[in-house]
């Protein structure tokens, strides 16, 4: 069971964090409103439905009644998150960026950019043919059939030209660098799918304990390494300050 929140992709930037330049994606995380609480007794499983971004037009009667039960206005996006204990949530409750803390890992889901109908060179990274010397084979896919089974048979899964992008993708195990509670902004390290101002779904990673444990060990090793370097430099400075012994030895 994972916690999550809806957000909007604002773009990418670079920040200085712990002495390192970190590429981050800026996400406006919420505020979201709990529009429905599902329990095992009523629905067979525990989950909450949350709404994001106000919507004032084109709301039909069923949805209008649905939002009225939660004592909230219309919402542009509705998504569901499984939870362990649905009794902790109430209709109309507001979820903000405080759901996550810096150092946690999340899986970010979004609708990737669409590129239209593309050939095999752009869609699948084919090398293509020669560019000169009388060649007439440049960006074509080449042979797609063969006589392996039946003459003219095309194997399922053959990489060919077609629609590129526009699919739901998930970026796994991205670390949260900064959480701004005042502005409801979350900075996630790395790139996430989707165009600017597109909807994002942030869920806690399933391997969060293992990943955070690795980060802790890495930081401890870095502290030990820096401490060893500092001790070595201190010893060298003290050695230089020590008076030189006379050439004739002790007198």
Model pLDDT for residues 163-181, shown as the tens digit of each residue: 999 999 999 999 999 999 8
- What integer pLDDT is reported at residue 106 of this predicted model? 92
Query: For the whole model, what pTM was predicted?
Result: 0.76
pLDDT averaged over every residue in the chain: 87
CA gap 177, 7 in Å, rounded: 16
CA gap 104, 170 in Å, rounded: 17
Please write the tens of the pLDDT for every residue from 9-49: 999 999 998 888 999 999 999 799 999 899 888 888 889 99
CA gap 239, 233 in Å, rounded: 10
CA gap 30, 97 in Å, rounded: 7
Q: Would you tell me how many other CB atoms lie within 10 Å of the CB of residue 130? A: 10
Domain ranges, ordered by start, for the chain: 115-165, 207-242
Mean pLDDT value of segment 133-141: 90
Instruction: Say what percent of the chain tops pLDDT 70.
Output: 94
């Amino acid at each position: 069971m994972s916690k999550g929140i809806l957000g909007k992709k604002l773009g990418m930037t670079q920040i200085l964090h712990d002495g390192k330049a970190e590429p981050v994606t800026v996400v406006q995380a919420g505020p979201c409103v709990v529009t429905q609480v599902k329990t095992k007794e009523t629905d067979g499983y525990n989950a909450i439905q949350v709404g994001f971004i106000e919507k004032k037009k084109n709301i039909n009667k069923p949805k209008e009644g649905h939002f009225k039960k939660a004592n909230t206005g219309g919402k542009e996006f509705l998504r569901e998150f499984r939870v362990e204990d649905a009794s902790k949530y109430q209709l109309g409750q507001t979820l903000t960026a405080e759901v996550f803390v810096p150092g946690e890992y999340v899986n970010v889901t979004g609708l990737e950019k669409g590129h239209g109908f593309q050939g095999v060179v752009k869609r699948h990274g084919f090398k293509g043919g020669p560019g000169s010397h009388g060649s007439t084979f440049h960006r074509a896919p080449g042979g797609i059939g063969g006589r392996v089974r039946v003459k003219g048979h095309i194997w399922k899964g053959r990489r060919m030209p077609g629609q590129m992008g526009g699919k739901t993708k998930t970026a796994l195990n991205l670390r949260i660098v900064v959480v701004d509670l005042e502005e409801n902004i979350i900075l996630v390290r790395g790139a996430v799918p989707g165009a600017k101002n597109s909807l994002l779904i942030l869920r806690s990673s399933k391997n969060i304990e293992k990943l955070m444990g690795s980060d802790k060990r890495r930081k401890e090793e870095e502290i030990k390494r820096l401490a060893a370097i500092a001790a070595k430099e201190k010893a060298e400075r003290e050695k230089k300050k020590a008076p030189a012994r006379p050439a004739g030895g002790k007198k």
